[in-house]
Amino acid sequence: MEKVTVYAAMRAGGMSRRAFLQACGAIAASLALPPGSGRAIARALERTPRPSVIWLSFQECTGCTESLTRAHAPTVESLLFDMVSLDYHHTLQAAAGGAAEEARREAMAANHGRYLLIADGSLPVGHPAYSTIGGVSNLAMLQEAAAGAAAVIAMGSCAAFGGLPGATPNPTGAAPVSEVVRDRPLVTIPGCPPIPAVIVATLAHYLTFGRLPALDPLGRPKAFYGETIHDRCYRRPFYDRGLFADTFDDEGARKGWCLYKLGCKGPTTYNACATTKWNGGTSFPIQSGHGCLGCSQPDFWDGGGFYRADALPFGPLTPTATIAAAAGVAVGGAVAAANRRKRAKARAAHRPITVDDLEKGQEETP
Amino acid sequence: MSASLERGLDRFRESLDADTAGFFATCVRCGMCAEACLFYTETEEPRYTPIHKLQPLKRLWWREYTLVGRIAAALGLSKPVTGGELADWSELVYDSCTLCGRCSLVCPVGNDITYMIRRMRDGMAAAGYAPPGLVGATRRAIELGSPMGVQLATLQAQIRHQEEATGLPIPMDREGADYLVLLSSMEIVNTPEMLGALARIFDRAGVSWTLASDAFEATNSGIQIGVAELAREIVMRTVTAAERLGVKGVVSPECGHAYMALRWEGPDLIGRPYRFEVLHILELLDRLRGEGRLKVDSTFNLPITFHDPCQVVRRGGVTEAPRNLLKMVATDVREMEEHGVYNWCCGGGGGVSAIGRAEELRLKAFGKKRGQIEATGAKTVATACANCRVVMEEAIDHYQIGVELVGLTELIADHLETEESHHG
């Protein structure tokens, strides 16, 4: 099985050479790689054996998997399952119970140091007993699997940042993968769920170049998380002209104006939804009339309400703010009064300038 | 600290009103004013960035009028404005600024940089850092009545010549005339034909006009050096004469700052409205044209372009009149690429032409205008400001470009419909 290359597996799956090359070109384009990289990707995939992938699910909702498997064939997303040898995945594998766990251990031992580890869901670090599989805590399973992994992918916002399980009050003490795995190359692909094409492109990059793509400070591939939704939003011109929908059924909403006032988190959310879109490029939330929730940003559940505009304060003005405002007014008033006195003094000292003065000054100066 | 420096800084303090403080506080440091200033574009030296020319005034504002600046000053973290600093800035505030107003026009946050330069010149002059050339011009304007030292006798001699040349009377001190016409000393000395041109046009159009023996000079050196009280004294001469003669209007000649000083600054300087209207000569001519009283019977047929004097067009608002007139008298009018309110200065306005030490810089700055003129392909440039004309003529001589300058009023006078052609 290990000798089978990515390309061979894809051809065996019924893909034509032409479709394969087109897919490689699409991957290169989505990663913003230079023209010609599509060929490089194709050559690499022709030679590279399909890597073994272990997919572990922790405190999650299976939404990430659903997102991937809802991909329409033949799309870029469907390549994923041809590209890798998926040796363990709760939802997708046929085996169950002890046999499944045995398969996982075998794959890990056979490919030690070479397999890719994908983790979705957060880890109940505060109370490891809250989530176990076959009697093994999530925390112990991740630590064991990560030890033999070539690289780790934290899939979805729960694995990347803690997500819903980590939202206040966070009863399980949920933590992201990055707090457990510290000594392996780690890429985070946040989103609730993440965009399938992003997952595929990240894998293709790894298979082609043997390393992870360029990452931002939160570990996200820059090619997809380099710009905000807002920067690329087709409704941006309305924002720039100050045209906003104030309710979901007003004239502005019908005319497709900016949803900022209805709580759209596009300006603070880094993701590729506005360009890559969803469901085979059909649409994305803003295009269907709802603001961005900011699902690929850390702590988005605790961001103060989906329908609250970004610029509004989270709570009512506290006494601190009132005191600060009063102090600001007082200091401003005092400075203004002092300035008025200073100007008045200068005006009182005003003496008309004669032409003689114009020359006198020059003689006095050193 | 010398008494004069302290007096200059006090003038800075006086000038820091809400407008100026607002301008300084809202500057977003975008640098667009640099690209709008011909002293920057022609030298590419960052110190000629317009807002930078105000740095001492801005520092004084920050140190003495803002909370953070006051704290920093109290802790000794910022140094006071010194005489040496003002001496360094004299070149920036005077030699390299013609008050052309292009920076104010392009500022995206609406800061009137030109206005602030004027305010800063007030303190600079009070502290004794005005350039000697400009101080001399101002002294002559106050003491002799004209920045070039032109006296009434000189004017009277030129009047006699022009009366002989045209066969028309040039009235002086005529009470009850409709218009009091002012001249700039540049015109009296360099282009006295302008007087004859006016006499012919007014005779043909039936305009009742006069000169005033005690207020023939239009140039206002007080505005250029930046001292309000001197500017007021010069404006007041014209106001007194106009009201003594009982004219309906005062006509500012082909001179940029004269028009701006009298029309837009004058009432503020003297603290009351005028009892007469102020017109630029081109406004009056365009009015006569509109009434059918000004006609030509021949046209200028070579390519010709128009140099917009900054104070008349951008700062003065007289944009259409010169174009209407030019279209009437010329058949091949070629606009420069940036014209009207976006024109580029000749490089010698705002008193710069009176600053001897600025000559080299002025000639360099002319590169912008030179490029604009050459791009039109016209060998004749009409303008409506005697100062622009002299500055450009000097530069054209210097660079040997082979372009001819003409005053628009003169051009019209040369093609004026005569009595014979009208009836014949």
DSSP letters of B385-398? -HHHHHHHHHHHHH
Q: Which of A165, A273, A203 is nearest to A52 (CA)?
A: A203
Q: Name the band, by pLDDT with cuts 50, 70 and 90, for residue A361.
A: low
The residue type at A66: E
Which residues of chain A neighbour B60 with C-beta distances below 8 Å? none
pLDDT tops 80 at residue B176: yes
pLDDT given for residue A1 in this prediction? 44
Q: Which residue would you say has higher pLDDT here, A69 or B217?
A: B217
Cβ-nearest to A346 among B14, B143, B229: B14
Q: Do domains B3-130 and B292-414 have the same CATH topology?
A: no
Mark yes or no for CB contact A335/B66 under 8 Å. Answer: yes
Residue A108 CA to residue A114 CA, distance in Å, equals 9
| Residue A45 counted as domain residue | no
Measured N-to-C along each axis, helices B367-376 and B386-399 cross at an angle, to the nearest 10 degrees, of 90
The residue type at A319: P
Domain boundary pick from A216, A244, A275: A216
Q: Name the band, by pLDDT with cuts 50, 70 and 90, for residue A117.
A: very high
Among B9, B10, B142, pick the best mutation site for testing chain A contact (most A Cβ within 10 A). Answer: B10
Which neighbouring-strand residues pair with A124? A174
Same domain assignment for residues A128 and A192: yes
pLDDT tops 70 at residue A74: no
Among B5, B15, B124, B230, pick the best mutation site for testing chain A contact (most A Cβ within 10 A). Answer: B230
Residue A215 CA to residue A273 CA, distance in Å, equals 18
Query: Measured between CB atoms, does A363 come within 8 Å of chain B?
Result: yes
Residue B26 CA to residue B68 CA, distance in Å, equals 16
In sequence order, what DSSP letters do the residues of B341-359 get, joined into one string? Answer: GG----S-TTTGGG-GGGH
Q: Which residues contact B9 (CB under 8 A, 6 or more apart)?
A: B60, B81, B123, B127
Residue A223 CA to residue A41 CA, distance in Å, equals 16
A25-41 average pLDDT score:
81
pLDDT tops 90 at residue B422: no
Same domain assignment for residues A244 and A208: no
Sign of CA dihedral B209, B212, B216, B220: negative
B166-173 average pLDDT score:
94
Query: Measured between CB atoms, does A364 come within 8 Å of chain B?
Result: yes
pLDDT given for residue A243 in this prediction? 94
Q: How many CB atoms lie within 10 A of CB A30?
A: 22
Same domain assignment for residues A79 and A184: yes
A100-112 average pLDDT score:
90
| Residue A25 counted as domain residue | no
B94-99 average pLDDT score:
96
Q: What does the buried/exposed string (b/e) look like for A227-256 if buried means 16 or more CB atoms within 10 Å of the residue's CB?
A: ebbbeebebbebbeeeebbeeeeeebbeee
Sign of CA dihedral A64, A65, A67, A73: positive
Q: Which residue would you say has higher pLDDT here, B349 or A313?
A: B349
pLDDT given for residue B314 in this prediction? 95
Which residues of chain A neighbour B7 with C-beta distances below 8 Å? 349, 351, 361
| Residue A212 counted as domain residue | yes
Q: How far apart are the first and last CA of chain B?
A: 76
Q: Which of B41, B51, B27 is nearest to B338 (CA)?
A: B41
Among A335, A339, A350, A354, pick the best mutation site for testing chain B contact (most B Cβ within 10 A). Answer: A339
- Tokens of residue A275, six digits: 């360009």
Domain boundary pick from A302, A331, A348: A302
Q: Three-state SS for B153?
A: helix
Q: Name the band, by pLDDT with cuts 50, 70 and 90, for residue B242.
A: very high
Domain count, chain A: 3
Residue A267 CA to residue B83 CA, distance in Å, equals 50
Q: Three-state SS for A220?
A: coil
Fold of B292-414: Rossmann fold (3.40.50)
Which residues of chain A neighbour B4 with C-beta distances below 8 Å? 357, 360-361, 364-365
CA atoms within 13 Å, Cβ hemisphere of B218: 30
Sign of CA dihedral A301, A306, A312, A316: negative
Among A342, A355, A359, pick the best mutation site for testing chain B contact (most B Cβ within 10 A). Answer: A355
pLDDT given for residue A366 in this prediction? 42
Same domain assignment for residues A278 and A323: no
pLDDT tops 70 at residue A314: no
ipTM above 0.90, yes or no: no
Which residues of chain A neighbour B21 with C-beta distances below 8 Å? 339
Decide: A220 and A198 in contact? Cβ < 8 Å. no
| Residue A308 counted as domain residue | no
Report the percentage of chain B scoring pLDDT > 90.
Answer: 91
CA atoms within 13 Å, Cβ hemisphere of A11: 11
Q: Three-state SS for B248?
A: coil
Mark yes or no for CB contact B70/A335 under 8 Å. Answer: yes
Cβ-nearest to A349 among B10, B65, B66: B10
Which residues of chain A neighbour B142 with C-beta distances below 8 Å? 355
Least confident of A36-40, A110-114, A243-247, B293-297: A36-40
Measured N-to-C along each axis, helices A355-364 and B113-126 cross at an angle, to the nearest 10 degrees, of 70
pLDDT given for residue A103 in this prediction? 87
pLDDT given for residue B420 in this prediction? 58
- Tokens of residue A292, six digits: 């961005």
Tokens 């609406």 sit at which residue?
B110
Q: What is the CATH number of the domain that holds A183?
A: 3.40.50.700
Domain boundary pick from A193, A216, A239: A216
Decide: B400 and B370 in contact? Cβ < 8 Å. no
B392-420 average pLDDT score:
90
- Tokens of residue B216, six digits: 């023939």
| Residue A14 counted as domain residue | no
Which neighbouring-strand residues pair with A57? A120
Least confident of A84-88, A310-314, A341-345, B333-337: A310-314
Query: Measured between CB atoms, does A102 come within 8 Å of chain B?
Result: no
Mark yes or no for CB contact B65/A347 under 8 Å. Answer: no
Least confident of A270-274, B106-110, B185-189, B204-208: B185-189
pLDDT tops 50 at residue A365: no
Backbone dihedral angles phi then psi of residue A74, each to the nearest 5 degrees: -95, 105
| Residue A15 counted as domain residue | no
B193-217 average pLDDT score:
94
Domain at B3-130, CATH class: mainly alpha
Question: Model confidence over A177-214: pLDDT tens digits?
Answer: 999 999 999 999 999 999 888 888 888 888 888 888 99
- Tokens of residue B268, six digits: 């503020």
Chain A and chain B share a number of CB contacts under 8 A equal to 84
Q: Three-state SS for A62?
A: coil
pLDDT given for residue A66 in this prediction? 84
Strands B179-181 and B249-252: parallel
Which residues of chain B neighbour A363 with C-beta distances below 8 Å? 128
Same domain assignment for residues A352 and A239: no
Q: How many CB atoms lie within 10 A of CB A311?
A: 8
Same domain assignment for residues A127 and A267: no
Q: Name the band, by pLDDT with cuts 50, 70 and 90, for residue A78.
A: low
Structural domain range at position A204: 51-216
Same domain assignment for residues A280 and A324: no
Average pLDDT, chain B: 93
Q: Using the 8-state DSSP alphabet, how is residue B405 labeled?
A: E
pLDDT tops 80 at residue A351: yes
Q: Three-state SS for A121?
A: coil
pLDDT tops 90 at residue A96: no
pLDDT given for residue A207 in this prediction? 82
Decide: B200 and B415 in contact? Cβ < 8 Å. no
pLDDT tops 60 at residue A73: no
pLDDT given for residue A362 in this prediction? 55
Which residues of chain B neighbour A350 with C-beta distances below 8 Å? 10-11, 14
pLDDT given for residue A211 in this prediction? 85
Mark yes or no for CB contact B132/A362 under 8 Å. Answer: yes
B335-360 average pLDDT score:
94
In sequence order, what DSSP letters do the residues of A329-344 get, joined into one string? Answer: HHHHHHHHHHHHHHHH
Domain extent listing, chain B = 3-130, 140-289, 292-414
Q: What is the CATH number of the domain that holds A296?
A: 4.10.480.10
Mark yes or no for CB contact A358/B229 under 8 Å. Answer: no
Residue B100 CA to residue B345 CA, distance in Å, equals 6
Same domain assignment for residues A119 and A239: no
Report the percentage of chain A scoring pLDDT > 90.
Answer: 53
